[in-house]
Amino acid sequence: MSINLETPKKIRPLIDQAHQVAMNMLRPISRKYDQAEHAYPVELDMLAAMIDGLADSGASEGAGATGVRRDEKAVEKGNKNGANLASVLSIMEMCWGDVGLTLTMPRQGLGNSAIASVANDEQLKRFEGTWAAMAITEPSFGSDSAAISTTAVKDGDEYILNGEKIFVTSGERADSVVVWATLDKSMGRAAIKSFVVTKGTPGMRVERLEHKLGIRASDTAVIIFDNCRVPAANLLGSPEIDTKQGFAGAMATFDNTRPLVAAMAVGCARASLDLTRDVLAQAGIEIDYDKPAYAQSAAAATFLQLEADWEAAYLLTLQSAWMADNREPNSMEASMAKAKAGRVGSDVTLRCIELAGTLGYSETDLLEKWGRDSKILDIFEGTQQIQQLIVARRVLNLSSAELK
């Protein structure tokens, strides 16, 4: 199978739609919710209803983070452009509009990707339409997700959860939270399972919301689980502790979510490049694609270099999503895409501020905001360093114990 890098025809209408939404619905409220941190963007309810309508009509396969279930039939049918590719391409457009607002889009949480990745068919049906946040990080760890100390103890038909989760995106607004907890700490990684906990379940409470550098439209919560009883049927995937499989089940989620986060960075960086191109043009600096960079002004040459870097991030992101659609193992490519796009997202947005000068730094335009918003995309769902570590392990064929 080989990838065709042209945008697939059947996905183009979805991309156009997402671009229109980003331009006409997200951009106009972008600054408002950057300044009104913790205020719920009510405008998104209408938008979410529209996306649901499209999904019901089948017109928007993979309009958001919910469309990432791996299609078992894909391999039989051969080369496939499916929900993962559609998701990354539409998320790029939405994040061209606003990353924070995209992250807080109802029913499009990262927890939805976790459900899509590991839920069985019954669970998938039962949790259809829920808006799910994802809670992995705890006060004692971030990168080292094998160090989870939130516990899940079986008691009849229920599990009892105890622990504290921090920095949960959409933790307050979502309908449910996918919580990672250990069934038995002494059994290591294999005992880590994820549980869907519905909002309002006794014993679960949002303790506080964070104030942040960027993506301020998105709520980030601390959630406490204090003897929180969850139906046993809400454990996603198999309840068995399979030491051979280890962490693989839970980690499979990341193969689907990392391309999405990479796509967010690609979209945000594109927004900066587009606006900077206009700013440069107004200053009389045209970018000439037929002339070598060294024969153009320093600003134009810098711009060309940023675009080349952006394109590499874009292509790696497409590749990782396309592999997921075609059921090819994509852990390494998902990490490559996330590492490249996360880094490029920050580099491009900051260099664009530099190129635009005072206009870049001023709140009259959005360049400074994009510089702040993009940084998180190089941190959550695995930092730059962690992605590089994963890629190194895959390239060198070393286990996580052998290369830390």
Ligand X SMILES: Cc1cc2nc3c(=O)[nH]c(=O)nc-3n(C[C@H](O)[C@H](O)[C@H](O)COP(=O)(O)OP(=O)(O)OC[C@H]3O[C@@H](n4cnc5c(N)ncnc54)[C@H](O)[C@@H]3O)c2cc1C
Q: Tell me whether residue 17 or residue 137 sits nearer to ligand X (CB atom).
A: 137
| C-alpha to C-alpha distance for 278 and 133, rounded to whole angstroms | 37
Q: Please, what is the minimum distance in Å from the beta carbon of residue 208 to ligand X? A: 14
Q: Please, what is the minimum distance in Å from the beta carbon of residue 376 to ligand X? A: 5
Q: Please, what is the minimum distance in Å from the beta carbon of residue 217 to ligand X? A: 11
Q: Please, what is the minimum distance in Å from the beta carbon of residue 387 to ligand X? A: 9
| C-alpha to C-alpha distance for 24 and 97, rounded to whole angstroms | 9
Q: Please, what is the minimum distance in Å from the beta carbon of residue 198 to ligand X? A: 17
Cα distances from 225 to residues 16, 112, 207, 208, in angstroms, run: 42, 20, 10, 13
Q: Tell me whether residue 287 or residue 334 sits nearer to ligand X (CB atom).
A: 334
Residues engaged in binding ligand X (CB under 6 A): 110, 133-137, 142-143, 167-169, 212, 220, 376, 379-380, 383, 385-386, 389, 404
Q: Are 151 and 181 in contact (CB under 8 A)?
A: yes
For 11-16, the CB contacts below 8 A with 24+ separation are 11/81, 11/85, 11/86, 11/89, 13/59, 14/59, 14/60, 14/61, 14/62, 14/63, 14/86, 14/89, 14/90, 15/89, 15/90, 15/93
Q: Is the dihedral of CA 293, 294, 299, 300 positive or negative?
A: negative
Name residue 231's beta-bridge partners. Answer: 158
Q: Tell me whether residue 21 or residue 134 sits nearer to ligand X (CB atom).
A: 134
Cβ-proximal residue to ligand X, closest one:
142
Catalytic residue, candidates 61, 210, 381, 402 = 381
CA atoms within 13 A on the CB side of 242: 10
| C-alpha to C-alpha distance for 83 and 67, rounded to whole angstroms | 5
| C-alpha to C-alpha distance for 47 and 107, rounded to whole angstroms | 11
Q: Tell me whether residue 315 or residue 379 sits nearer to ligand X (CB atom).
A: 379
Task: Quickly count: other Cβ atoms within 10 Å of residue 182's Cβ.
Answer: 23
Give me the torsion for CA of 47, 51, 56, 59, rounded to 10°.
Answer: 140
Q: Tell me whether residue 67 or residue 214 sits nearer to ligand X (CB atom).
A: 214
Element containing residue 368 per DSSP (H, E) = helix 367-375
Q: Are 34 and 100 in contact (CB under 8 A)?
A: yes
Q: Please, what is the minimum distance in Å from the beta carbon of residue 69 to ligand X? A: 20
Q: Please, what is the minimum distance in Å from the beta carbon of residue 383 to ligand X? A: 3
Q: Tell me whether residue 364 or residue 385 sits nearer to ligand X (CB atom).
A: 385
Provide φ and ψ at 273, rounded to 5°: -65, -45
Q: Tell me whether residue 253 or residue 326 sits nearer to ligand X (CB atom).
A: 253
Instruction: Specify whether 381 is catalytic.
Output: yes
Q: Are 139 and 173 in contact (CB under 8 A)?
A: no
Residues annotated as part of the active site: 381
